[in-house]
């Protein structure tokens, strides 16, 4: 069963089904109560258009993983592995952004045994 939420001031209506398909992955998900609560709130406060555009902006322009995420952690562990193997490490300038290719290359350099060895070397 689907529900329709309307922002009469901005002439916007949204019909929310019980399940939706993520167009990036093709997987089907049920709509969470938190999403429904947010849609109801914004429909009542005439800000439904802002919610929709903010969600689209976040969906189409995801934030890059800066100092976070599994890729960043694995890249840092690959740097530590390099230090342990070579004894020398050259710092890259902080302003230089790392590409996704560099992060996946760092991930390919490590296997789970390497991660365990690095953690054991630092008492983890």
DSSP per-residue letters across the chain? --EEEEETTTTEEEEE-SEEE-TTT--EEEPPHHHHHHHHHHHHTT-HHHHHHHHHHHHHSPPP-SS-HHHHHHHHHHHHHHHHHHS---PPPTTSPPPHHHHHHHHHH--HHHHHHHHHHTT-
Residues of the chain with pLDDT under 70: 63-69, 87-112, 121-124
The pLDDT value given to residue 39 = 92
Reported as a single tens digit per residue, the pLDDT across 74-93 is 777 777 777 777 766 555 55
Per cent of the chain over pLDDT 90 is 25
The pLDDT value given to residue 105 = 60
The pLDDT value given to residue 34 = 92
The pLDDT value given to residue 89 = 56
């Amino acid at each position: 069963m689907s529900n329709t939420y309307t922002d009469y001031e901005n002439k916007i209506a949204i019909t929310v089904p019980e399940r939706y398909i993520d167009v990036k992955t093709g997987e089907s998900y049920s709509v969470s109560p938190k999403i429904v609560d947010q849609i109801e709130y914004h429909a009542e406060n005439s800000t439904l258009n802002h919610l929709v555009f903010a969600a689209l902006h976040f969906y189409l322009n995801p934030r890059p993983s800066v100092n976070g995420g599994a890729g960043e952690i694995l890249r840092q562990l690959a740097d530590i592995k390099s230090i342990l193997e070579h004894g020398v490490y050259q710092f890259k300038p902080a302003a230089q952004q790392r590409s996704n290719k560099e992060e996946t290359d760092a991930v390919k350099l490590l296997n789970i045994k390497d991660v365990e060895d690095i953690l054991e070397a630092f008492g983890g």
